[in-house]
Structure 1
Amino acid sequence: MRLVVLGGGESGVGTAILGKKKGYDVFISDFGKIKNNYKEVLALNKLDWEEEKHTEELILNADVVMKSPGIPDKSPIVKAIKKKGIPVISEIEFANQFLEVDTIGITGSNGKTTTTMLTHHLLKQGGLNVGLAGNIGKSFAWQVAENKHEGYVLELSSFQLDGVEKYRPHIAVITNISPDHLDRYEYKYELYIAAKFRITMNQTENDFLIYDADDAAISEWMENNTIKAQKIPFSLTKEVENGVYLKDDTIISNINKDEFTMSINDLSLEGKHNVKNAMAATAVAQLMRIRKETIRESLSNFQGVEHRLEPVLKIQNVQYINDSKATNINSTFYALDSMKTPTVWIVGGVDKGNDYSELMPLVREKVKAIVCLGVDNRKIIDAFENVVDVMVETTSMQEAVKVAQKLAEKGDTVLLSPACASFDLFENYEERGKQFKNAVQNL
């Protein structure tokens, strides 16, 4: 069996290692450059690869192709592979066939990284040997090859779910759905929603789907489609049966007729969206029979996620906050919503079909100045030039941070919350966040 891996990053290299271990003839092809640390791993494992090109003769003889999530379906090589009828799957689907343990799959437009890390933290504190993978950390396939875990918590993007056929998580979580990545879904919101719900398509009556019962897109989809899994809703606005809800600032979970309560004031993470993330993680922990005392402790000592509303420094009484992970409007909505002081907002990057009007009330109320950081800022300027007094365009992180420092006064906040992808000026949102932190530390 010949396995061709498109993309020589974390998921690609992990898939190649697992493929080789399982007896496949493996070839890796990357249209860009493969990083040196990955080349060393490929050499150690005696794997064949190419970079900066896709050689059709070496690819179109595959029995199966694993495509990294960053490569769009419309790229010429993917079209050629599909035309030949060769199956194209994701790392999740490939690794899943060699798995004999349960997974917990977590998706959503926002909150999925925090919810995944928080869930993993709760289960580990509860004594379970679970791996953390998917859209985060070390490759899932790589971990399956090493075979050290008794279960996995997976953060799953819509791109990863596009490439699954048989994958079935024992517990699935959908944190929320809002328009994102529409450039990859023909600008049709319903296609993106359907991609998210692929997480539950293979689930049975013995599995569980945890979801936000306040979310309009989720509710509408569930009304019009059949779901076999047992439904576990969570809500901030209404009492739900066999789920988790909020009453008088207390989280109440009544899953398996076993009530767990905790005041939201004891959560380590702030903000309404984090109450929801905590509810979803609590639901998983209760299904996995983690002790209530452990759940309570874990929710109060969790440290949060880098690049997600991460306080960096206070300089001359101005707080700098790194929210580089906000790559869509909904994420930035949460960030602006949680600002308590006048805010200088650094925004911009590659727009994925954003509608900035949703942010208008928050920008009017909270934002005193906007610093654009992107190659093309036209849409942001058109949206907000009549709403804020000061708008400045910048082309590097250092420049953006210096301008923001000049615009900020004592008691203000400087918030990097781009609402866009980072690929025009940065390698990824992590690099963007690191550059922001470095620039702030050098002020």
Structure 2
Amino acid sequence: MKKVLVYGLGITGISTVKTLASKGYKVYTFDKLKKEDDRLKGYDYSPISDVKKEDKFDFVVKSPGIKPDDEIVKVLEKNNEIISDIELSYRIFNNKEFLAVTGTNGKTTTTSLISHILNESGKRAIAVGNIGEGILWQMYKNEAVFVEEVSSFQLHNTKFYKPHIGIILNITPDHIDWHKSEENYIKDKLSIARNQDQKDYIIINHDDKILSKNKENFNANIYEFSTKDKISNGIYLDGDDIVLNIDEPIKLFSRNDLKIVGNHNISNAMAAVLALYLYGIDINEIVKYIKTFKAISHRLEFVTEINNVKFFDDSKATNVDSAIKALESFDKNVILIAGGYDKNIDYRPLFESSSKKIKAIILIGQTKNILKSVSEDYGIKYFIEDTMKDAVDRAFMIMKKNDIVLLSPASASWDMYKSFEERGNDFKNLVKEREPR
């Protein structure tokens, strides 16, 4: 019987314990904040209260959010192999079909879009990874195609992980506090394709400088998508038309047919189309059902319109590049609510590309003073507030007809909220309380 330690009892850890216990492994758990969890009642596992350097397990499954330089990780790695849940899923469920999606931004939308079209076309699919219940428990319970949203944290602790179809949507600086350098972050993102070969497919963003620079390092068949250039082996935007060009150019649909807005979502849609086409879904089915997909909560989600002012919740914008893409979706008069947990990233690019669109910026959270300084450098009118309620109240004070109020924080949520979902819901609830009755 294999002896395994699960470090961290979050969503990933709970999923891992339930799966391994159900498969007959001897499971030990360690969590700095708790010994047991009510979600694991009925499952056979042994909590431990301390970790020693002489402890030996067949492997250790680490929750993705725990940093590589964590003191417990440093102790465990002296004598143990440390892996992520996606690595373990590949080892113990190697008969399962899956597609993998990574990138700094757009993962959830693309993963959800692929799952939507697979299900609508009659192929059962489940979105897993950073979405909902942990990947291992979903794979244990279900027979389906698993569409995996894969983070750099998960990819960091992989060794054999090998998707037949992989997507890298984009790579821009993020999570430098976790990875310690931009180079490490890029390396972990690219590792999704590390074990692929000529039987596999890697789908990449032609417009992304980092991905273009690393094309020669991919061993799989490369397919590209672009909103700027015509692609000879992939898919591209030509005016308002999305064109698939594998054997010959075929116009598929217009960007105006989509219910999701912004050029970044055009890119997400094109990546999804390529993945589904390579998987084997009929192109007519893909086109039919891509037109029925709606925006995911907290991802440039339209909330309401009050006094001719539109409100959008983009709480999932936890980094600068994602906030830039949200701002690019609007022409002008944006009242931006930004700020949150400090991940040690540079905020200047947000203002370099979008300062003319920002009418005013309302700053909250841990990064508000950093953003205040940059706002001053770019001559942008700013307001500093303590809470989301204060920020929403300020927006209502300064907004005028035809303005856009956009929550796109360019920062993680962990300083004020447990998750970006909680932050987005707080914003939406506060806005909707102001709707005329």
Regarding TM over 0.5, the answer is: yes
Q: Please list, as runs of the form range in 1=range in 2, the aligned pairs for 1:372-391 lying within 5 A after superposition.
A: 372-388=363-379, 390-391=381-382
Aligned equivalents of 1:230 and 1:236: distance in 2? 21
Identity %: 37
Change over 3 Å in CA distance of 1:383–1:26 after alignment to 2: same
Aligned equivalents of 2:80 and 2:377: distance in 1? 52
Residue 20 in 1 paired to residue 34 in 2?
A: no
Give 2:68's aligned residue.
Answer: 73
Residue 155 in 1 paired to residue 153 in 2?
A: no
Q: Contact (CA 8 Å) 2:53, 2:75: kept in 1 or not?
A: no
AA aligned opposite 1:44:
G
Q: 1:267 aligns with which of 258, 268, 283?
A: 258
Q: 1:211 aligns with which of 204, 207, 214?
A: 204
3-state SS of the aligned residue for 2:291?
A: helix
Give 1:45's aligned residue.
Answer: 43
3-state SS of the aligned residue for 1:127?
A: coil
Q: 1:101 aligns with which of 96, 102, 122?
A: 96
Residue 193 in 1 paired to residue 186 in 2?
A: yes
Give 2:387's aligned residue.
Answer: 396
Give 1:113's aligned residue.
Answer: 108
3-state SS of the aligned residue for 1:275?
A: helix
Q: TM-score, with normalisation over the residues of structure 1?
A: 0.93
> What is the CA distance between 1:309 and its match in structure 2?
0.6
Q: TM-score, with normalisation over the residues of structure 2?
A: 0.94
Tell me whether 259-268 or 163-172 shows the greater mean CA deviation: 259-268
Cα offsets for 1:337-358 (capped at 9, x unmatched): 1123411111111222222221
3-state SS of the aligned residue for 1:238?
A: coil
> What is the CA distance between 1:389 and its match in structure 2?
5.4
Change over 3 Å in CA distance of 1:365–1:376 after alignment to 2: closer
> What is the CA distance between 1:59 and its match in structure 2?
9.6
> What is the CA distance between 1:58 and its match in structure 2?
11
Give 1:316's aligned residue.
Answer: 307
Aligned equivalents of 2:353 and 2:187: distance in 1? 30
3-state SS of the aligned residue for 1:23?
A: coil
Aligned equivalents of 1:127 and 1:218: distance in 2? 33
Give 1:367's aligned residue.
Answer: 358
Q: Contact (CA 8 Å) 1:167, 1:202: kept in 2 or not?
A: yes
Structure 2 gaps of 5+ residues are none
Give 2:213's aligned residue.
Answer: 220
AA aligned opposite 2:101:
I
Q: Contact (CA 8 Å) 1:260, 1:292: kept in 2 or not?
A: no
Structure 1 gaps of 5+ residues are none
> What is the CA distance between 1:375 and its match in structure 2?
3.0
3-state SS of the aligned residue for 1:119?
A: helix
Aligned equivalents of 1:64 and 1:430: distance in 2? 32
3-state SS of the aligned residue for 2:18?
A: helix
Q: Please list, as runs of the form range in 1=range in 2, the aligned pairs for 1:114-153 lying within 5 A after superposition.
A: 114-146=109-141, 148-153=142-147
AA aligned opposite 2:399:
A
Residue 442 in 1 paired to residue 436 in 2?
A: no
Give 2:12's aligned residue.
Answer: 11
Give 2:278's aligned residue.
Answer: 287
Aligned equivalents of 2:426 and 2:153: distance in 1? 27
3-state SS of the aligned residue for 1:385?
A: helix
Q: CA RMSD of the aligned region, Å?
A: 2.0
Aligned equivalents of 1:43 and 1:257: distance in 2? 57
Q: Contact (CA 8 Å) 1:17, 1:145: kept in 2 or not?
A: no
Aligned equivalents of 1:91 and 1:425: distance in 2? 28
Cα offsets for 1:395-431 (capped at 9, x unmatched): 2111111112112122211111100111111111111
